[in-house]
Structure 1
Amino acid sequence: MTNKLSPTAISLCLVSALLLAPTVAQEQPALTKTLQAEDVFALEHANSVQISPDGNYIAYVRNSFDIMTDNTRRGLWLVDTATGQHTPLFADKHSYGNPTWSPDGKRLAFTSNRSGRNQIHVFWVEEQRVAPVTEVPKSPSQMAWSRDGEHLAFMMAVEEPKSDFAKSVHTPKKPSKAKWGDSPIIVERTLYQRDGRGVTKSAYNQVFVVPSEGGSARQITDGPFQHRGPLVWADNDQQIVFSANRNKDWEYQSRESDLWAVKLADNSLHQLTDLPGDEYSATLSPNGQQLAFIHGENTPVPYRNGTLHKLDWDTGALAAIKTNFDRSLGSPKWMDNQRLTVQYNDRGLTKVAEVNLNGELTERVSSLGGTYVSRPYTSGMYSLAPQTGAIAFTHATAYDLANVAVEVNGEVQQYTDLNSDVLGYRDLGEVKEINYTSSFDGTEIQGWYILPPGYEAGKTYPTLVEIHGGPHAAYGPVFGIEHQRYAAEGYVVLYVNYRGSTSYGAEFANLLDGFYASERDFADHMSGLDKLIEMGIADSDNLFIAGGSAGGIATAYAVGLTDRFNAAAATNPVINWVSKTLTADSSIGQIQNQFPAMPWEDLAHYWKRSPLSLVGNVTTPTLLFTGELDRRTPMAETEQFYQALQLQNVDSVMVRVPGAYHGVTAKPSRIVAKVEHALAWFKRYRKE
């Protein structure tokens, strides 16, 4: 099943990679030219950055946009850390992902559709050859090498048999060449839909094992339960650890999962943990004795921190690694038997730190991010070379997306520069930090604002408040093309981490518990706007507001509380919390952890939080922008607000995006569409 690439074939791969790489216009623009809508198609960023165990190589997925297909291209590239040589392994018409190094660093597993369906492939670095190792019907994910390198574990969705009811339905035989309508879809599950996929089949992720040289994949878990990774080989490669809720009523338990181990010899299962809440992200120490993992409590509040714990493999004894650090920890990786690395968000920055078993943290990296193209969300990932302690990560700045970088002994070296051919010829808006107190109760708020290119001190500018989603998410001082595009058209762009945002601790994140949306987060944004007016930056006669998802809700709520904005643009908003929670894919978790009771038990609370309750006050011209297939904030939410505004003769427009789910900017053309529709709407009401 292996095919060695000849030198000629390797050369052809390199040539095809260069030919297929994104290009910019032949005539380079002047340095002072501002960011254009079409520039999104030329942007690239690194992701899935994986450093080899010895630190000699970094494999990563290079993401670029294809202007002809309006999709993302994902090539697989390799960096030699000693020489800095940067070469494509695979950069062609196929898609590549999930690079995973073998324990000896001599092989690289990855997924690709290069052989038809998405399969696991292995690349031999020194021999320069590649071969598929699976032939499975669905896309594999969550790959993990056994410690001896002889096997790969992975997950794959497996459909459950039809129910007795579905089997009993009589279906007449269709005559030859007859054209009947599509068959009805039978829905029997509680969690029957998923944004991005629509109504889903009864299929569940199961654990599989396949020889790393290729062969038949063997399923080792079963049952109607959603198992999840990462997968961990333990007990001298005799068992595999995973996370799952295998309780009968798991669909109603939105915050419950445990660590399990399955024996390869007989597929028998053993439950390792039983804490109240979620246990996930397991990782095994080099000596195989300690299993570290993340735990989240099941308290019915909107937000909880992920905390670090460990389990003694031989005794089963559990203990928390107490850090006394009020941040949510994730992605633990063992450096040695006494230290781990963890990732977390802190005041709008994504960081990596070392932590010892006494819970003492030492910060290593503070510039992860750049993997979210459209808006400046905290993002990014890292990997660890256990033999050297080097950390490879997606490095971001306020003026560029993710590049490949490595930190060793406090020194950071950047290996790629993916966007200098585009952003190096654009005059971007300057990003500046702002801190102030909310007029509601004096809560401290951190945020950032972008000045328009060519900004002149002492002159006021039209100002846009742009609100992030979540609300339990965070913005940071990283590049987002939407915000820079607004700035390029002459707007000051204010974006803040209002109460409810992550990266400021659990108490701050839960300040919206019972008050989402409300006058509280509204005051956080208005106070920032007032600060910019006081600073002589914002033009008080040219104020605008926009946001997506939770930011769309906040935008719709804000125009019901004030008429100080010239115009508003709400993307993917919730307008009526009763209809939202009873139609969206997030219904159970949201009702259980965000609301005091079922909708019919406390209708007043749901109505108070709904922008529809304030629609009678709205006079602000409002644009609504939503994907027609959205199952997180369904299209009917947007339709309710639009029709209510129309009934009151409020200037309004509804922009419906065909084929788009909640991730309405998943395609580059839709990033452009979202921003350009908002800019056109604002221009109509902007005072010169």
Structure 2
Amino acid sequence: MANYVTKESLFEIQSITNPILAPNEKEALYIRTQLNEKENNYNAHLFHIDLETGESTQWTYGNERVSSPQWSPDGKQVAFLVKRNEKQQLYILNSRGGEAQELTTLPNGVNSYLWSPCGEKLWITSTVKKGLGITEQEEKEEKKVPKAYVVDKMKYKADSVGLLPQERYSQIAKVDLATKEVSAFTEGDYSHSLQGISHDGKTLVIAVNRTENTDDIFRTPLFLVDVETKEEAVLIDEDGYYGGAEFSSDDRYIAFGGSDHTYKNATHGHVYIYDTETKTTQKLTEMLDVPVGDYAVADIQQGVDAPTVIWTENNDLYFQVSTEGDIRLYYATLEGAIYPASPENEHVYGYAVFKNGNRALITVSNPTFPGELFDFDITTGERKQLTTFNAEFLESTTLSTPEAISYTAKDGITVHGWIMKPAQYTEGEKYPFIVEVHGGPHTLYANTFFHEMQLLAAKGYGVLYVNPRGSHGYSQEFVDGVRGKYGEGDYEDIMAGVDYVLQHYAWIDESRLGITGGSYGGFMTNWVVGHTNRFKAAVTQRSISNWISFYGVSDIGYYFSEWQMLADMNDVEKLWHHSPLKYAANVETPLLILHSERDFRCPIEQAEQLYITLKRMGKEVGFVRFPECDHNLSRTGIPNLRLERLEQITGWFEKYL
């Protein structure tokens, strides 16, 4: 008897990420993450693979999450971060065996690190309280008493963090490998991050913003810092997001990723090259009208940490590009030649390139394949699968294979997406049908494995998921096409997709349509039910219902509204016009509202307003609150509550469809 995807399949599917090549290029590291049902958490363990024999060995065990593995420059040791006591610390493991030893015991732990190329020290970042040294312990209070939090800035809270710690700053220090001695490198009441290091070990790239109040500052300048003298030179100091600096093998060039502020947070990501000899910067990918980076949304991959860009020994480059539903590895030369290096119809979510540039280790997923590690010959296109952690799940489970579609929306633009048949599809039958809308909106649905979509198909639903205007992976004009116009062209794009599939797929039961989505997808779900009665059931998740209150309650509200709605509190008419709450009286679709109580991105008051308003109007509405969870419940939330969320979604659709 065939097995189908269940909500509990989340515990079977394993996430294989972060391939890291050894300096000898004969071995590598990667991380396997699993949901731990017994402990109701996530375990991430370090694995080693011999690339000549293909043999994998598990190197860490226990109820813990390992991250950021890096080989020492001579390949004899491996460093990683893990929280084994109270704080996350840096550990060193001999690559020929033995116990990992704790290198740091800092009072606030280690946030990130880089090996110095000499192999005798490591650069780290750690959080330090104002007035204390990096190794100094804060005074412990005898008794925990509640303390007032005095707010003096607009950027004072963040989703997944909560209220931002006051008078604490991320500082850079170096750790001597032999003595474990920690010595501070940066100072001042500003947060610093490590972005890169030169091959001669003489230059660090650090990011720091030394503005007193960053409420209206959307830049973190990158500096080249001389390790001996601490002298700084600006690498880039412009509005936007820049980081992930990599030096070419001869240290002449520095490649880094970034997106400027031309279209605010809708600007395409690019690769920039700084020439240390001419002191000039070029935008290497300027002619590429798709974004550099991985903007895919899914719910399986955990703790992915892919490089921004990788150099070969010949000064060519590799990086990821999100393009028309694919996340592909791209190749570029300094002269500006750019072309894809990996195939279509898949999601390359991790990569490590051999020095000669002809071969790579890649972690790859596609819509019916959760992801494994492959040895990829870039020149011939041949690949060898190195891990089979998900083989048992795939062999025993019947999946639905998404079919790519494209159609023309109302104003002539082409929209791309996928349709899935129910997993137990029988020719001639009619099936209920669910539309999924992604968040962002500047992300994309991709050719990657999505547990939630497969679960809906297994439950007997057809599924449609598309990339309406505002999605990444297409032109700059396309991704910018929603700003100031939420609920207009994007809404038309989604409804045109519904019309398209109803016209072309006779098995869809038009009288049993459902819609769901989270974040921006939750906004769109709310908007849809206020503007059409075509759907018989809807589930809105971590949604926005009222742009007026969102402005003041979201951790990003005051600037996100200005960037995305092109309106602030001086134009409440525009904010209200685009608010789904305004159209509550029109709602006739039974609506289930799901929301996390610790969501600071789209705070739960957005759900509360919508629920009480609809309930007061006598509408068919449900409301489920998830304690101790933030905006990322569906992807990285507490496992039992992820299951409960899926149970609530499928239960609502079962009831009304």
Q: TM-score, normalized by length of structure 1? A: 0.87
- Out of 379, 389, 409, the position equivalent to 1:418 is 389
- The answer to whether the Cα contact below 8 Å between 1:429 and 1:451 also exists between their aligned partners in 2 is yes
Counterpart residue number, 2:297: none
- Aligned residue for 2:553, secondary structure, equals coil
Q: Which amino acid aligns with 1:219?
A: A
Matches within 5 A, 1:296-445: 296-330=259-293, 331-366=308-343, 380-386=349-355, 389-408=358-377, 409=379, 410-439=381-410, 441-445=411-415
* RMSD (Å), alpha carbons: 2.2
Q: Deviations over 1:489-515 (max 9, x none)?
A: 110011011111000121110110111
CA drift of 1:488 comes to: 0.7
Find out whether 1:493 has 2:468 as its counterpart. Answer: no
2:239 counterpart of 1:258: no
1:193 aligns with 2:162: no
Identify the residue that residue 211 of structure 1 maps to in structure 2: 176
Structure 1 match to 2:299: none
Amino acid at match of 2:397: R
Deviations 1:127-185 (A, max 9, x none): 545322222122323322122222211222223359xxxxxxxxxxx9x9xx8952222
| Cα distance change on mapping 1:204 and 1:379 into 2, 3 Å | farther
Secondary structure (helix, strand or coil) at the match of 1:613 reads: helix
- 1:150-165 matches, within 5 Å, as 150-161=120-131
Unaligned 5+ segments in structure 2 are 133-140, 294-307
SS at match of 2:645: helix
Deviations 1:576-633 (A, max 9, x none): 111112111112441342233422x111111111111111111110000000111000
Alignment length (residue pairs): 629
Using the TM superposition, give the Cα deviation of residue 679 of structure 1 relative to its aligned residue in structure 2, in angstroms.
Answer: 1.3
- In 2, the alpha carbon distance for the partners of 1:287 and 1:475 equals 38
Kindly state the Cα deviation for residue 302 of structure 1 after the two structures are TM-superposed. 4.2
Q: Contact conserved, 1:364 with 1:407, CA < 8 A, in 2? A: no
- DSSP-derived class of the 2:531 partner: coil
The secondary structure found in structure 1 opposite 2:330 is strand
Alpha carbons of 1:363 and 1:563: their partners in 2 closer, same or farther (altered >3 Å)? same
How is 1:242-641 mapped onto 2 (pairs within 5 angstroms)? 242-254=206-218, 256-330=219-293, 331-366=308-343, 380-386=349-355, 389-408=358-377, 409=379, 410-439=381-410, 441-516=411-486, 518-535=487-504, 536-599=506-569, 601-641=570-610
Contact in 2 for aligned 1:133/1:214 (Cα 8 Å): no
Matched with 1:146 is: 116
The yes-or-no answer on 1:684 pairing with 2:655 is yes
* Shift of residue 389, structure 1, vs aligned partner: 4.5
Cα distance between partner residues in 2 of 1:279 and 1:183? 36
CA separation of 1:569/1:327 partners in 2, compared to 1, >3 Å: closer, same or farther?
A: same
CA contact (8 A) 1:392 1:406 kept: yes
Structure 1 residues 223 and 509 mapped into 2: Cα distance closer, same or farther (>3 Å)? same
> Which is worse superposed, 588-597 or 91-100?
588-597
| From 662, 667, 670, the counterpart of 2:638 | 667
Residues 158 and 555 in structure 2, CA contact (< 8 A), matched pair in contact too? yes
* Residue pair 1:142, 1:230 contacting (<8 A) in 2 also: no
The 1-side partners of 2:235 and 2:444 are apart by: 33
CA drift at 1:300: 4.7
Aligned mate of 1:87, from 44, 57, 67: 57
3-state SS of 2:341 partner: strand
In structure 1, give the amino acid aligned to 2:597.
E
| Letter paired with 2:573 | A
CA contact (8 A) 1:70 1:669 kept: yes
TM-superposed deviation, 1:401: 1.6
Contact 2:325 2:447 in 1 (8 A): yes
Q: Is the 8 A contact 1:278 1:297 kept in 2?
A: yes
Alignment-mate amino acid for residue 41 of structure 2:
N
Would the aligned equivalents of 1:143 and 1:231 in 2 still touch at CA under 8 Å?
A: no
Structure 1 residue identity aligned to 2:204: I
Q: 1:299/1:682 Cα in 2 relative to 1: closer, same or farther (>3 Å)?
A: same
Q: Distance in 1 between matches of 2:17 and 2:102?
A: 22
Distance 1:141 1:411 in 2: 38
Q: Aligned partners of 1:367 and 1:74: how far apart in 2?
A: 29
Secondary structure at the counterpart of residue 465 of structure 1: strand
C-alpha spacing 1:388/1:272, structure 2 compared with 1 (3 Å): closer
Match status 1:45 vs 2:15: yes
Measured in 2, the distance between the counterparts of 1:556 and 1:452 equals 25
For 2:188 and 2:508, the matched residues in 1 are separated by: 58
The list of structure 1 runs, each at least 4 consecutive aligned residues, that deviate by more than 6 angstroms after superposition, is: none
Instruction: Give the TM-score, by structure 2 length.
Output: 0.91
- Cα displacement (A) at 1:388: 6.0
Do residues 105 (structure 1) and 75 (structure 2) align? yes
The 1:538/1:80 distance shift into structure 2, 3 A limit, reads same
User: How far does the alpha carbon of each residue in 1:647-674 deviate from its partner, in whole angstroms, 9 at most, with x for none?
Assistant: 1111101000011111123122222222
CA displacement at 1:276 relative to structure 2: 4.7
Could you list the per-position Cα deviations for residues 414-439 of structure 1 after superposition, in whole angstroms to 9, with x for gaps in the alignment?
21111222232111112111111113
1: CA distance, partners of 2:586 / 2:648: 24
More displaced stretch, 327-336 vs 587-596: 587-596
CA distance in 2, matches of 1:560, 1:426: 38
Q: Deviations over 1:1-35 (max 9, x none)?
A: xxxxxxxxxxxxxxxxxxxxxxxxxxxxx4x1211
1:541 is displaced (CA, Å) by: 0.6
- Aligned counterparts of 1:185 and 1:326: Cα–Cα separation in 2: 45
Q: Is the 8 A contact 2:263 2:480 kept in 1?
A: no
1:135 pairs with one of 92, 105, 111: 105
SS in 2 for 1:380: strand
Shift in Å, 1:367: 7.0
**Matched residues in 1 for 2:474 and 2:92: separation?**
41
For structure 1, list consecutive stretches of 5 or more residues without a partner in the other structure. Answer: 1-29, 163-173, 370-377
* CA deviation vs aligned residue, 1:536-589 (integer Å, no higher than 9, x gap): 131101100000111000000000000111110000000111111211111244
Say if 1:322 and 1:556 are closer, same or farther in 2 by CA, change over 3 A.
closer
**Does the 8 A contact of 1:293 with 1:308 survive in 2?**
yes
Match of 2:92 among 122, 129, 134: 122
SS in 1 for 2:470: coil
* CA drift at 1:228: 3.2
Name the CA distance, whole Å, in 2 between partners of 1:573 and 1:453. 29
Is the contact made by 2:159 and 2:555 (CA closer than 8 Å) also made in structure 1?
yes
SS in 2 for 1:442: coil
CA distance, structure 2, for counterparts of residue 577 and residue 618 of structure 1: 18
Question: Conserved in 2, the CA contact under 8 Å of 1:231 and 1:240?
Answer: yes
Counterparts in 2 of 1:181 and 1:108: CA distance versus 1, 3 Å: closer
Distance (Å, rounded) in 2 between the aligned partners of 1:247 and 1:183 = 27
Deviation track 1:632-653 (CA, whole Å, cap 9, x = no partner) reads: 0000000000011011111101
Name the structure 1 match of 2:138. Answer: none
CA drift of 1:336 comes to: 2.4
For the 8 Å contact 1:289–1:314, the answer to whether it is kept is: yes
